[in-house]
């Protein structure tokens, strides 16, 4: 399976990657371990994040959750092997975060069912988008997709996420990611009304 099947966006320019490094330095460190409750339109999903698995990814996720960035975000790409989310419903928020890339983390855990990793479009292009593995996807490990956490409650909800739109355009009939970034949920409500969503995302427990 080619990298294009899982990427979130096109690779960034060198200047954007330099900006990403600066953004990463300003990101506060997350706790060693914390739980995030995603209240979705299909039910509650709880993710345990372990900072040691992927420190930069964990720090950014903690920052975004506390900024309520994921509230209202759609699961815009649901395929047999994974469910992807993380483009905000507010274009102004997307302008702030979409190019705030973070450097890669080494892969310490495998992309097994229930594990959560960032989507990316090449080296050092992780920003806000994540995916939940819906089955064992060990082939993604060698591509650099580093899990930051694992679903410990609610995989039944993940399995129920609406998959009907399939792959994103132009490969399939799903939404265009550029349009989600620039038009937000207004675009998705109009053309893809059956997509499931993250209603809220909150840190519910910190484990030191």
* 196, pLDDT greater than 80: yes
C-alpha 139, offset from chain centre: 18
41-88: pLDDT as tens digits: 999 999 999 999 999 999 999 999 999 999 999 999 999 999 999 999
CA angle (51, 89, 2) in 5-degree steps: 60
Domains, the chain, ordered by start: 3-207 (2.40.100.10)
pLDDT, averaged across the chain: 89
- pTM of the model as a whole: 0.88
Q: Give CA separation, 145 vs 29, 142, 154, 164, 208, in Å.
A: 20, 8, 22, 25, 25
pLDDT at site 29: 93
Is 127:100 a contact under the CB 8 Å cutoff? Answer: yes
- Beta strand segments in 119-168, E: 130-133, 147-153
Residue 16 in this model has a pLDDT that exceeds 70? no
Q: Under a CB-based contact definition with an 8 Å cutoff, are residues 33 and 153 in contact?
A: no
């Amino acid at each position: 399976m080619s990298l294009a099947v899982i990427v979130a966006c096109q690779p960034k320019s060198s200047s954007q990657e330099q900006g990403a490094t600066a953004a990463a330095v300003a990101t506060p460190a997350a706790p060693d371990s914390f739980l995030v409750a995603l209240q979705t339109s299909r039910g509650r999903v709880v993710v345990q994040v372990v900072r040691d698995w992927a420190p930069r990814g964990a720090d950014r996720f903690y920052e975004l959750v506390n900024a309520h960035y994921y509230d209202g975000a759609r699961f815009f790409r649901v395929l047999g092997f994974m469910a992807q989310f993380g483009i905000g419903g507010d274009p102004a928020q997307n302008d702030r975060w979409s190019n705030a890339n973070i450097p890669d983390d080494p892969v310490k855990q495998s992309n097994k069912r229930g594990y959560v990793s960032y989507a990316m479009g090449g080296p050092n292009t992780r920003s806000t988008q994540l995916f939940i593995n819906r089955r064992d996807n060990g082939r993604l490990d060698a591509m650099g997709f580093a899990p930051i956490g694992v679903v410990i409650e609610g995989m039944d909800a993940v399995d129920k996420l609406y998959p009907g739109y399939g792959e994103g355009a132009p490969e399939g009939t799903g939404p265009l990611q550029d349009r989600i970034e620039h038009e937000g949920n207004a675009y998705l409500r109009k053309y893809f009304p059956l997509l499931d969503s993250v209603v809220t995302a909150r840190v519910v427990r910190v484990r030191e």
